[in-house]
Amino acid sequence: MNLLMHAWLPLRTRDGSVAYCSPSAIADPDIVDLALPRADFQGAAYQWLIGLVQTALPPEEHDGWMDRLAEPLDRDALEAAFAPIAAAFELDGDGPRFMQDLDPLEDVKPAPVSGLLIDSPGANGLKLNTDHFVKRGRVEAICSDCAALALFTIQINAPSGGAGYRVGLRGGGPLTTLVMPDDTEASLWQRLWLNVMPTKSFARQGKVETPRPDDDTLFPWVGPTRISDKKGAVVSPNDMHALHAYWAMPRRFRLLVEERPCQCDLCGREAPRSVSEIRAKNYGANYDGPWEHPLTPYRCDPKKPNEPPLSTKGQPGGLGYRHWSNLVLKDAENSGALPAAVVHDYLHGKAPANRDARRDGEAFEALLSQARLWAFGYDMDNMKPRGWYSVEMPLVAVPPAKQAVLRSWVQDFTELARQVAWMVRNQVKTAWFSRPADAKGDMSPIDTQFYERTQAAFFRALFDMQQALGEGESTHMPSSAAENWYRTLRHEALQLFDAQALTGPMAELDMKRITGARRNLRAWLSGRSKGSKVVTQFAKKGGFAITGSKEATSTEEVAP
């Protein structure tokens, strides 16, 4: 089974149906999305196709990228572009196998195929009988199509897995951010092409060479494994092809494909061949050094510029607008935020190229003037997945010279929200308990609710900021956007407090304490109590008055 020639990818067509096709079908304008049976497979399949197109069909410059956007290849031409590297994408057979160890690992005892799934219980969980919520035995046999995606998914997300079981090139459970068109009618090709970058962008990520199917610095499975059982045996960017990050292989696996029909436990289809067991061995490639995967955001330490950056991971509480700035706007000198290379390339390469094209009478507004950020990934606790997050957020583009101003405004907006969320949580705790400092328990759901309630307002404000920066040279925060944001935070804070205040322990219920906590919250939100300097400073930057509106706090409502 060759993954570039075989019809194995489930693709969603414009009429809503699903067809299994070879990768060259992405050239069809009627193919609008992927349709994988699992969320992590969906994200992995996007990354697989982006890596494939980036490897086989890289544009030299942004002008060439724009030309290919305007005139995509047809299916035959795309298949011809994939053909030179097709030999590296055989899933089984006697030669090199896609994402599998060149050694057949016959000295290793076979294990269940469920070991490829990050959310399956591990050996220790089975031994201790702790698989309460994710049960054993859910996946016993899968089709070779799903096996290919499961294999790729664990290689790009590989968490820690015991002695010698290496994490992925970007760490275990990395966050992925992709640029997506805001146009709901966009084709899958357009979605993928937005995340393909010019070759020059990879000049510092290893050796820039023409891809060959026998190059194990690009496709590591076509050569002997870079074993890491000895100290210092690491794989660094300087030793590898510039595009190796797309095809990194930290784990040693072999699929045991059987000529035995099965009903796949993942996609539900009847398949003529099945995979029920794998072989796995430790001490695969140990990635170290300044690796930066093009699809993942990173963070550096401004105080330690010589240390390599660390990839951004999923965290408890999910993803939302409070993370937007670090995922989109570079800030290496202060916060250390390093957005994914594809996001940076969109803001600093593709969007400016589109503005230049508009001045020349050519434009791709539907695809380039408006875009969205798709962020997804596991929240891992070492080798245990706590959850999977997938969110889409607007991706506004302003001229590169104005991005520092936008970042400053966004940080002011999100910092005010963070402080308000903190105050709501504290006052709810005060309302619930007579000794709030001694009370135990997780109060983070209150923060989550607050951020969910205010997310739509934040993105409305973000578009106002974009418009303000696009209309002139002013660097003053737009007053109407700032005031609307403050009023929204104030309103939602009080609404959330009222919804939560009476839900505390019945034995602790005290109306006098509850009303006092609410009075303190209102006073803080009015900027007229101790510790509310952040509110008054935001109002000053925004150029609006906190008092004097219909929502102003009266003197009798202020805490003494």
pLDDT of 137 reads 55
Provide the sign of the torsion angle of the four alpha carbons 442, 447, 450, 454, taken in this order: negative
* 299 secondary structure, DSSP code: E
pLDDT of 559 reads 31
Query: Per-residue pLDDT tens for 445-486?
Result: 899 999 999 999 999 999 999 989 886 666 789 999 999 999
Q: What is the DSSP string of 117-185?
A: -TTS--HHHHHHT--SSS-TTS-S-B-HHHHHHHHHHHHHH----STT-PPPTT-SSB-EEEEEES-TT
- pLDDT by residue for the chain (560 residues), tens digit each? 999 999 999 999 999 999 999 999 999 999 999 999 999 999 999 999 999 999 999 998 988 898 888 888 999 999 999 999 999 999 999 999 999 999 999 999 999 999 999 988 654 444 434 343 344 458 999 999 999 999 999 999 999 878 889 999 999 889 999 999 988 889 999 999 999 999 887 756 667 788 999 999 999 999 999 999 998 899 999 889 999 999 999 999 999 999 999 999 999 999 999 999 999 999 999 999 999 999 999 999 999 988 999 999 988 888 999 999 999 999 988 889 999 999 999 999 888 888 777 777 665 555 566 799 999 999 988 778 889 999 999 998 888 888 889 999 999 999 999 999 999 999 999 998 888 888 888 888 899 999 999 999 999 999 999 989 886 666 789 999 999 999 999 999 999 999 998 887 777 778 899 999 999 999 999 998 888 899 999 999 999 998 744 443 333 333 32
d(CA 293, CA 170): 7
Query: Per-residue pLDDT tens for 339-392?
Result: 999 999 999 988 888 877 777 766 555 556 679 999 999 998 877 888 999 999
pLDDT of 317 reads 80
pLDDT of 206 reads 63
Rg (CA), the chain: 26
Percent of the chain whose pLDDT exceeds 90: 68
pLDDT of 89 reads 98
Phi first, then psi: what are they for 508, rounded to 5°?
Answer: -100, 0
pLDDT of 81 reads 96
Q: Which residues pair with 257 in a beta bridge?
A: 275
- Tokens matching residue 477: 């925060």
Q: Is 496 exposed, middle or buried (0-12, 13-18, 19+ CB in 10 A)?
A: buried
What is the value of pTM for the model shown? 0.91
